[in-house]
Amino acid sequence: MTANLAIYTRVSTEQQDLEKQVEQLLDYTNRHYPDSNPSLFKDESTGKDTERSGYKRLMDSIEEFDVVVVRSVSRVSRSIRDLSRIADEFEDAGTKLEFKNEPIEVDPASDDPYSKAMFQLLGVFAELEAEMTRHRIRDSIQTLQENGFKWGRAPLGFKKDDGELIPMSNLDTVCTVLSMVDEGKMSQRKASQRLDTSRTTVRRALEDDNRRELYNLD
């Protein structure tokens, strides 16, 4: 099968071998897509605040590819909600996302009922994870208030009502976008555009310890 193909690989510790992963993925694509000449996107990071420039370049050009092959789900996602969002992005682009180590793929052209059912369940668990995040945020607000902390202006994704900090309907989106920036999956510029705010506001949310607690940024 001839396809406009991309490979994305990432290592997160000094003990992992990036080039070995690349060789494994090239061997995989040579067997499954023998006539393709894949484009390589690579990241080598040792912490969650490391800039993932390879991933950003891939997502900026995602519509140019028919298939993207990744070693495993953990290379692109750290949560169910994040994986659900990534699946939506690939489906919107009409690009197939294929994992070498797991029997999972996102294929916009597929009518396979198993794949459709799996991603329906993925959406259910993503919403459950989001609800758990909202509970943690409410607990964080209560703890900060009990410790006497007072906010000036309401942080991004919140409003104030008689001095009380109230989550707004877009808070889940705010948390997701800030998490992407924190993990190097999105630039502060794109995040500010996505959230219709300034880069200064985004940077403050990431650098202030109290705000990080509100947005569940571990």
pTM equals: 0.55
The CATH number of whichever domain residue 57 belongs to comes to 3.40.50.1390
Mean of all residue pLDDT scores within the chain: 79
C-beta of residue 154 within 8 angstroms of C-beta of residue 160: yes
C-beta of residue 109 within 8 angstroms of C-beta of residue 98: no
Same domain for 95 and 142, yes or no, is no
Query: Region 171-198: what's the mean pLDDT?
Result: 85
Same domain for 102 and 10, yes or no, is yes
pLDDT, tens digit (0-9, with 9 covering 90-100), for 86-104: 888 888 899 999 888 877 7
Q: Which residues make beta-bridge pairs with 41? A: 8
Helix intervals (H) in 110-170:
113-146
Confidence of residue 129 (pLDDT cuts 50, 70, 90): low
Sign of CA dihedral 18, 22, 28, 33: positive
Total tally of structural domains belonging to the chain:
2
Specify if 44 maps to a domain: yes
Confidence of residue 49 (pLDDT cuts 50, 70, 90): very low
Q: List C-alpha distances in Å: 44 to 13, 47, 48, 73, 164.
A: 8, 10, 11, 16, 42
| Domain with 98 in it | 5-106
Same domain for 28 and 81, yes or no, is yes
Confidence of residue 26 (pLDDT cuts 50, 70, 90): very high
pLDDT recorded at residue 65: 94
Render 176-218 in DSSP notation, one character per residue. HHHHHHHTTSS-HHHHHHHHTS-HHHHHHHHH-HHHHHHTT--
Same domain for 46 and 133, yes or no, is no
Show which of 50, 74, 106 is a domain's final residue. Answer: 106
Same domain for 136 and 87, yes or no, is no
Rounded (10°) angle between helices 199-207 and 188-195: 110
Specify if 82 maps to a domain: yes
